[in-house]
Structure 1
């Protein structure tokens, strides 16, 4: 393949690399968890109305700290018990008057029954909810459709040479026999392609945007499962409320939040709007403590718009941080906050391809996360926070796994040269339930969330479990309100201060 792009490296050999083998292993494991399910008709799928949810060992009195278990038996629209699991469920308990909420833990016995477990964490009347987001047949269809191809999104690149400007089709796969520009990342294991414009060098690619294609890998019958009325249906019959008392129980002492603390499920709960972690004791930091903590810190935020929200909210928390204009246009440019007196820097960069947006974004200063990590020297006053996933949902899972492995390797290299550098993972937020389920639905995010936990579990990094937090707050918005972002930032400050 001919190309004049100066960044092109030698093509990788055809024999599978270690990364290839690991990607296959992870995919094989997920495939076992989401086997193909027979789909005869809508009536044979899981029905929220016909399924039964029973509180086990129902008590007259519950105390803070108790566990409440619900046995869920999945049935189809004919009332027949399902013989297999795989339904995508979301369990949540809440007390709206107290601004309280927490997720529940779902255990799938793979025989049509599920155990839903709640840890009762606050006093008062608590309502219980179990939503059927998708039946197992829908889950199976989404998984097959996700991995069937890259055609749901197309990329358009802008090449600039002096006063000349040309557009060309780009993508994540080599799907043309024409001459291509080939942009390699991570030693050649991740590639971005563009059709090479005539009389333009590959190095003249400056901007990219995307368009959604009228492409679906679901059958017409399968699409019916993702109609709005079939997504997120309550499975608890009638409102279920229980009363929780203090019972004079003493809370066990918890350690301060620090690196390496294991994140339980659920990872915490919200009460009176505050986020209370389950695994460690948070400190409420005042403005003076925050300013002292951030003195001399270099903070790099790498990811999507859910992390860009931090850049907008941090100056409200640390009032000495001021935006610094790096030129560029639009919200996708690099953002910078500075406190010159205290030598504090906070930078946000969007992650690199795939980035799904109709807005043109620059590829000149693209924040390919592994490469950005490799560029940082690192020290005890350097912190990296990264998140990715929302923009990967419309593409085959292999792409997400490869990126996660590339980031993992980059973090390992960072820790070799600077073991004191702080690295924090912010997991994905849940998002709107009824927004283009095939491309962006939370089922895809959940599989990525579990995969992230598996890939990064042995690294000495911190985690802000935004997935669990946004379920607890019941946001159902890819961009949660500022009060939730502030709680993510509070968690971040507890890790670095």
Structure 2
């Protein structure tokens, strides 16, 4: 295995092979694996000190002249615009700056003229720092990753998107690793050692720093790459029925969404409470008021050939029923919370789903257990929504739904927002999240004993329409927005990223069960 101090590494490895039969292997391709086996013992060991986060931020400030500002606030005019934009949500300029720090991602410090300059998983190496024969439960393990490009040259800038996990396939145990970008081509990964026995370390390159720039560029300039259909219907001549299907999307005057047109090009539908505007191309024969249905339209892949290369390079049943007894549960979000609805319908014996004769993908869906007074409700979060043809009247904004409920000790709100927003600007997503935050604050003001749970975004997307990097950015916005609101945040990011089952935006039954266990612990903490 390549190393800057090969003699020292070889010496340690030889000793470790004799004592513990350690397997040390580097796999090429998309996955980078370093497998090491050890046992935890009771001997007291000195812990490896944690990397200094102060030095990390210091490096970031020193390099800020070579990359975009982490705060994005560079002028008095920008400050005025931002202050106006967020003032209605009670968000100060300092709070906005903290959000920008949370989603900041470093950029290459040079122009990328060839794909060979990007990070190569085959040439990138990593080592376990201060490797020992054995460790105690609760100790920390540190791994250093050294990124190299396809010419086997060390990289001098950060921005790669790595994910790391500690796992053992025999017991199916796993834990996520914290990756810190040192902004010089190296990355520090920290693991907590939580179980007794053997374990393996895996580090995976999700996107090179160059690929991340492709994702950022398309989010900033190409937000109409996902589009939707609006279905207009109305009376025609001689008792006929006119039907027209038009392209629809968010009204946003930049980031590529302005390409739909200006002036009288479109029908606009402004929600008076959220002040968000949805618009569709104006039909030729029907009025704007004739909009009846909504559906997913399609995808526009505008990646160049070079960009394409970069992007591709437990509760018991009885306990569950007891926990949900006398609860009115409102679930609002996407298909990943619909999976929870489906789990409850199967797991709670007397919970019966009603047929409302609606589009299943968007809802609303309702299930009732009359004997135990359980009411379960799920509906999609409103446009933008990638779904089959559904009635526009059935698409409600989450903040409006919250405003229309009284709340109280028997009411539970479960909210998620993510995968359908990966192609849109962060400001648009943040605006939507802050409207929900405002509604939640008002709810907790009038009914402070209401339970509110925010579900974060799953991993599993790997393309230009829904990369995990996009999802990570959305998760950071969610954490920032709800960190001081008095709600539960059910963070499923690590659960879906480091599980032994195949990664999927819609995780399998084992992961869903684990998520439900945590969810029920929030609803019934006693």
TM-score of the superposed pair, with normalisation by structure 2? 0.76
Instruction: Quote the offset at 1:27 in angstroms.
Output: 7.6
Change (3 A) 1:181 1:25: farther
Match of 1:144 in 2: 217
Looking at structure 2, the residues matched to 83 and 56 of structure 1 have their Cα atoms a distance apart, in angstroms, of: 20
Deviations 1:448-479 (A, max 9, x none): 11121112111111111111110121441011
Change (3 A) 1:160 1:380: same
Match of 1:234 in 2: none
Deviations 1:212-237 (A, max 9, x none): 24341x4432221122xx2xxxxxxx
Match of 1:83 in 2: 156
Pairs within 5 Å for 1:355-366: 355-357=385-387, 359-366=388-395
Match of 1:444 in 2: 470
- Do structure 1's residue 168 and structure 2's residue 246 form an aligned pair? yes
- Do structure 1's residue 300 and structure 2's residue 372 form an aligned pair? no
Pairs within 5 Å for 1:75-154: 75-154=148-227
CA RMSD of aligned residues (A): 2.4
Q: Of residues 447, 450, 456 in structure 1, which corresponds to 2:482?
A: 456
Change (3 A) 1:210 1:341: same
- Cα pair 1:34 1:143 within 8 Å, conserved: no
Q: Point out which structure has higher relative CO (alpha carbons under 8 A, 6+ apart).
A: 1
Looking at structure 2, the residues matched to 213 and 182 of structure 1 have their Cα atoms a distance apart, in angstroms, of: 22
Deviations 1:393-433 (A, max 9, x none): 12222221111111111111111111111110111111154
Deviations 1:22-63 (A, max 9, x none): 698578546753435531212222222322211112110122
Match of 1:480 in 2: 507
Change (3 A) 1:82 1:16: closer
Deviations 1:54-79 (A, max 9, x none): 11121101222221110112222333
- Cα pair 2:106 2:183 within 8 Å, conserved: no
Whose helix fraction is larger, Structure 1's or Structure 2's?
A: 2
Match of 1:384 in 2: 413
Looking at structure 1, the residues matched to 333 and 103 of structure 2 have their Cα atoms a distance apart, in angstroms, of: 27
Deviations 1:86-107 (A, max 9, x none): 1000101211111212211111
Match of 2:44 in 1: none
- Do structure 1's residue 427 and structure 2's residue 453 form an aligned pair? no
Pairs within 5 Å for 1:232-381: 285-357=315-387, 359-381=388-410
Q: Of residues 88, 97, 107 in structure 2, which corresponds to 1:35?
A: 107
- Cα pair 2:108 2:157 within 8 Å, conserved: no
Pairs within 5 Å for 1:404-419: 404-419=433-448
The residue matched to 2:231 in structure 1 has which SS? strand
Looking at structure 2, the residues matched to 332 and 420 of structure 1 have their Cα atoms a distance apart, in angstroms, of: 29
Looking at structure 2, the residues matched to 119 and 87 of structure 1 have their Cα atoms a distance apart, in angstroms, of: 22
Aligned length: 424
- Cα pair 1:302 1:367 within 8 Å, conserved: no
- Cα pair 2:332 2:416 within 8 Å, conserved: yes
- Cα pair 2:382 2:398 within 8 Å, conserved: yes
The residue matched to 1:151 in structure 2 has which SS? helix
Unaligned runs of 5+ residues in structure 2 are: 1-79, 236-240, 252-257
Deviations 1:362-391 (A, max 9, x none): 221213111111111100110000111111
Deviations 1:201-220 (A, max 9, x none): 4343221112224341x443
Looking at structure 1, the residues matched to 189 and 417 of structure 2 have their Cα atoms a distance apart, in angstroms, of: 28
Match of 2:55 in 1: none
Deviations 1:1-37 (A, max 9, x none): xxxxxxxxxxxxx977733576985785467534355
Looking at structure 2, the residues matched to 126 and 327 of structure 1 have their Cα atoms a distance apart, in angstroms, of: 50
- Cα pair 1:430 1:477 within 8 Å, conserved: yes
Looking at structure 1, the residues matched to 325 and 231 of structure 2 have their Cα atoms a distance apart, in angstroms, of: 41
Looking at structure 1, the residues matched to 344 and 360 of structure 2 have their Cα atoms a distance apart, in angstroms, of: 19
- Do structure 1's residue 225 and structure 2's residue 297 form an aligned pair? no
- Do structure 1's residue 394 and structure 2's residue 415 form an aligned pair? no
TM-score of the superposed pair, with normalisation by structure 1? 0.80
- Single out whichever of 175-184 and 88-97 deviates more from structure 2: 175-184
Instruction: Quote the offset at 1:172 in angstroms.
Output: 1.1
Unaligned runs of 5+ residues in structure 1 are: 1-13, 231-283
The residue matched to 1:439 in structure 2 has which SS? coil
Looking at structure 2, the residues matched to 350 and 492 of structure 1 have their Cα atoms a distance apart, in angstroms, of: 19
The residue matched to 1:161 in structure 2 has which SS? strand
- Cα pair 1:19 1:405 within 8 Å, conserved: no
Match of 1:208 in 2: 294
Change (3 A) 1:30 1:100: closer
